[in-house]
């Protein structure tokens, strides 16, 4: 990664970048943020994270002791009090850059402007069930209203970049596209064959292990994968005893997934371990990775699976076609279609040579096009380009008294 450090006055602190997100928890957006902060040059940038709601133990993935994490515990709905808290924090912290992510944090661009933050960046990472294609009129109106307060936008995929340009009407000069990156050393193929997964159902030598990783929420559509697996076992009953399904993750849809598996009598062939911290090890125990999402920005789990040397069967939505080369590193199927998903899985089940070939090519593409180093370099270059020569945010309240960044924000939580 580029480690060039600009000249700074003796004793001068590096510029501070404040990242505002809805919640620091398991998710692709949050994973990308943590990876970025852990790898940006510490001597060049300082960071703080403002969580509009709260954070979980996912915070411990930050390996920097200098990153403070603030929780605002915003209640549901509009909250002027939360804006006041953000304003006070920003006036006290005096960041050079505020970087918000996704719609849930976008409104705080206005607050950052009111607080006098010199540079304001917003990133669009993906979609949710209420706005799968970006056409929700109220959300689109909000994005256009906030547009004058944002200096620069980042789309994580070309699909999102086009949406920001064509629908939100962001000028090309104020818009960048930066893919997520994956740590190809941490996520790598097993040394020999398939790694052993920690459950007795994986004891067989001739098993074919299909897996996914993701939140069990509607937008990720795990129920369609469960239904596809049931249909697969019915399509090839002679191979049923060899098939296994791994679904890592938790969420509101999990009870429906469990019910589907139990009704089909497949409890002994489907592993549902919940959220795990060793996803890199789990991926090395798979033969095929499947992502059944209804909508996606740029999927970290697809990149992690590719880096792990797995073929990827994904839905043709959002940024997925930008990651998966259909017929080379994996296959694409329509979203929300259990039959198509089952057919796609069956192709890989029956054709081991294709499975292995696509997996090798996926690893090669991950290393060449989607490395973590490349992502970090692009963000660092953008921050440098937008960084003003000198900033002068005053750390005082309108009345003239100093602002305490901890006042009115209870509790204040630190990353270590």
Which sequence spans correspond to the domains of the chain? Answer: 16-181+371-414, 200-369
Least confident of 11-15, 30-34, 157-161, 333-337: 11-15
Closest CA to 189 of 268, 253, 280, 260: 280
The per-residue pLDDT for range 99-137, each reduced to its tens digit, is 999 999 999 999 999 999 999 999 999 877 677 777 889
Cα–Cα distance measured from residue 52 to residue 71, given in angstroms and rounded to the nearest whole number: 6
* pTM of the predicted model as reported, rounded to 2 decimal places: 0.84
Cα–Cα distance measured from residue 235 to residue 251, given in angstroms and rounded to the nearest whole number: 29
Rounded CA Rg of the chain:
23
The per-residue pLDDT for range 353-380, each reduced to its tens digit, is 999 999 999 999 999 999 999 999 999 9
Q: What is the mean pLDDT of residues 292-305?
A: 94
Least confident of 106-115, 264-273, 346-355, 387-396: 387-396
Q: What is the pLDDT of residue 389?
A: 65
Q: How confident is the model at residue 11 (pLDDT cuts 50, 70, 90)?
A: low
Q: What is the mean pLDDT of residues 223-233?
A: 98
Q: What is the mean pLDDT of residues 125-154?
A: 89
Cis bond before residue 411 (omega within 30° of 0): yes
Q: What is the pLDDT of residue 48?
A: 97
CB 14 within 8 A of CB 44: yes
CATH class of 16-181+371-414: alpha beta
Q: Are domains 16-181+371-414 and 200-369 of this chain identical in fold?
A: yes
Whether the predicted pLDDT of 410 surpasses 80:
no
Which residue has tokens 């994996």? Answer: 330
CATH of 200-369, one of 3.20.20.140, 3.40.50.720, 3.40.50.2000, 3.40.630.10: 3.40.50.2000
Whether the predicted pLDDT of 317 surpasses 80:
yes
């Amino acid at each position: 990664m580029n480690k060039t450090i600009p000249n700074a006055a003796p004793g001068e602190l590096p510029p501070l970048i404040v990242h505002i997100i809805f919640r620091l928890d398991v998710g692709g957006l949050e994973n990308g943020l943590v990876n970025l902060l852990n790898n940006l040059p510490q001597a060049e940038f300082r960071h703080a994270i403002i969580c509009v709601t709260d954070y979980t133990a996912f915070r411990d993935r930050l390996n920097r002791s200098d990153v403070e994490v603030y929780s605002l515990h915003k209640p549901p709905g509009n909250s002027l009090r939360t804006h006041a808290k953000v304003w006070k924090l920003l006036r006290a912290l005096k960041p050079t850059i505020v970087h918000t992510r996704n719609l849930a944090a976008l409104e705080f661009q206005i607050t950052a402007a009111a607080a006098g933050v010199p540079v304001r960046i917003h990133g669009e990472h993906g979609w949710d069930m209420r706005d799968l294609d970006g056409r929700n009129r109220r959300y689109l109106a909000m994005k256009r209203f906030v547009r004058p307060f944002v200096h620069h936008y980042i789309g994580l995929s070309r699909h999102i970049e086009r949406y920001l340009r064509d629908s939100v009407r962001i000028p090309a000069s104020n818009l960048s596209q930066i893919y997520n990156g994956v740590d190809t050393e941490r996520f790598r193929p097993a040394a020999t064959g398939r790694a052993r997964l920690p459950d007795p159902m994986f004891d067989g030598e001739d098993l074919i292990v299909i897996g996914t990783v993701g939140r069990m929420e509607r937008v990720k559509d795990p129920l369609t994968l469960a239904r596809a697996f049931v249909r697969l076992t019915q399509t090839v009953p002679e191979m049923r005893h060899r098939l296994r399904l791994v679904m890592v993750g938790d969420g509101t849809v999990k009870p429906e997934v469990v019910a589907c598996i139990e009704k089909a009598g497949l409890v002994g062939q489907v592993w549902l371990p919940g959220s795990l911290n060793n996803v890199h090890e789990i991926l090395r125990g798979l033969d095929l990775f499947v992502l059944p999402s209804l909508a996606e920005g740029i999927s970290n789990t697809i990149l992690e699976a590719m880096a792990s040397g797995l073929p990827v069967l994904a839905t043709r939505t959002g940024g997925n076609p930008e990651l998966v080369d259909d017929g080379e590193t994996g296959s694409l199927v329509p979203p929300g279609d259990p039959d198509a998903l089952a057919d796609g899985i069956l192709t890989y089940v029956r054709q081991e040579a294709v499975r292995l070939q696509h997996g090798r090519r996926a690893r090669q593409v991950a290393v060449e096009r989607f490395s973590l180093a490349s992502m970090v370099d692009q963000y660092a270059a953008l921050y440098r380009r937008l960084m003003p020569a000198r900033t002068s945010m005053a750390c005082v309240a309108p009345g003239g008294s100093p602002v305490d960044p901890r006042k009115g924000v209870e509790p204040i939580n630190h990353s270590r």
